[in-house]
């Protein structure tokens, strides 16, 4: 059972471009309030489509899909990242729409992308350890 | 030494099925070829095990087209997850009982004067 989990962890190994794709989608979502409302909705639609494409890419590349919010040791990483995302996204909307600082979502998007990249690598490391494979 | 009642599940118990269930309990779904590679078994053996697990209601199978070919995807059901957890807990409990028994046997006998 442990051997098959170790093989699973090896198969689930993400290339750097997969971490970058996740980071880009997260950063993009936080940065969308920099655009006028109509265009920000269009951009959010494109990003949602990007999420669908990343899921499809995962399935094609690995022959499986692992839910990021699965129960296990990776869950605190996922919920931690979700909390960071919600704070940054809320701040982005508030600064752009309420305070009129339209450029503010851009640096927040960069921060979100950085946090997303780090969280994606951390998630994989924790997953591999949970499956009994060294980080 | 008492042995607790153990929830062994004969459907899950064969090693290959345990491996399949261990993978499916971790992922949302997995493709047939990936399962075959992970469990290190042949197509026909995997097919038989998946059918047995599906008949027991532990695994859900679906067909989906990818790259112009029909592929089989498997996912664990709620009943399957519960049965797998129960079975693994029973194995761990049994391993614990064996460990205690081994410790008792390996204790040195008291020396009498």
- State what percent of residues in chain A have pLDDT above 90: 79
CA distances from B15 to A9, A22, B19, B22 (A): 19, 36, 6, 10
Of all residues in chain A, the one with the smallest CA distance to B71 is A63
- On whether any CB of chain A is under 8 Å from the CB of B52, the answer is no
Does the structure show a pLDDT above 80 at B106?
A: no
- On whether any CB of chain B is under 8 Å from the CB of A56, the answer is no
Indicate the average pLDDT of chain A.
Answer: 92
Higher pLDDT, B2 or A113: A113
3-state secondary structure chain A: CHHHHHHHHHHCCCCHHHHHHHHHHHHHHHHHHHCCHHHHHHHHHHHHHHHHHHHHHHHHHHCEECCCCCCCCCHHHHHHHHHHHHHHHHHHHHHHHHCCCCCCHHHHHHHHHHHHHHHHHHHHHHHHHHCCCCC
> What is the mean predicted confidence (pLDDT) over A116-126?
95
Q: Assign B4 to helix, strand or coil.
A: coil
Q: Determine the Cα–Cα distance for residues B26 and A71; give it in Å rounded to an integer.
A: 9
- On whether any CB of chain B is under 8 Å from the CB of A66, the answer is yes
> What is the mean predicted confidence (pLDDT) over B38-60?
94
Q: Which domains does chain B have, with CATH numbers?
A: 15-104 (1.10.10.10)
Residue-wise pLDDT tens digits, B52-87? 999 999 999 999 887 788 999 999 999 999 999 999
Please tell me the pTM assigned to this model.
Answer: 0.81
- Tokens linked to B101: 């028994």
Its ipTM equals 0.77
Chain A interface, best mutation among B26, B34, B69, B81, by max A CB count within 10 A: B26
Asked if A4 lies within 8 A of B39 by C-beta distance, the reply is yes
Q: Assign B57 to helix, strand or coil.
A: coil
Asked if B28 lies within 8 A of A65 by C-beta distance, the reply is yes
Q: Determine the Cα–Cα distance for residues A51 and A39; give it in Å rounded to an integer.
A: 18
Indicate the average pLDDT of chain B.
Answer: 85
Q: Which DSSP state fits B75?
A: E
């Amino acid at each position: 059972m442990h051997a098959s989990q170790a093989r699973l962890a090896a198969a689930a190994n993400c290339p750097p471009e997969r971490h970058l794709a996740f980071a880009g989608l997260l950063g993009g979502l936080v940065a969308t309030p920099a655009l006028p409302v109509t265009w920000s909705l269009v951009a959010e639609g494109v990003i949602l489509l990007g999420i669908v494409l990343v899921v499809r890419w995962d399935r094609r590349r690995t022959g499986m899909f692992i839910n990021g919010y699965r129960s296990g040791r990776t869950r605190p990483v996922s919920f931690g990242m979700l909390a960071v995302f919600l704070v940054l996204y809320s701040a982005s909307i508030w600064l752009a729409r309420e305070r009129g600082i339209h450029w503010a979502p851009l640096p927040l998007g960069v921060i979100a992308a950085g946090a997303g990249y780090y969280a994606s690598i951390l998630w994989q490391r924790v997953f591999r350890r949970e499956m009994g494979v060294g980080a | 030494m008492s042995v607790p009642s153990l929830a062994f599940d004969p459907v899950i118990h064969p090693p290959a099925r345990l491996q399949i269930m261990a993978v499916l309990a971790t992922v949302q779904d997995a493709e047939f070829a990936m399962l075959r590679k992970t469990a290190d078994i042949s197509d026909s053996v995997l097919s038989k095990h998946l059918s047995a697990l599906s008949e027991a209601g532990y695994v859900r199978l679906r067909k989906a087209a990818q790259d112009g070919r029909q592929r089989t995807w498997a996912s664990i059901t709620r009943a399957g997850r519960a049965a797998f957890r129960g079975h693994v807990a029973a194995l761990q409990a049994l391993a614990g009982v064996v460990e205690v028994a081994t410790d008792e046997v390996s204790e040195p006998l008291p020396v009498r004067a």
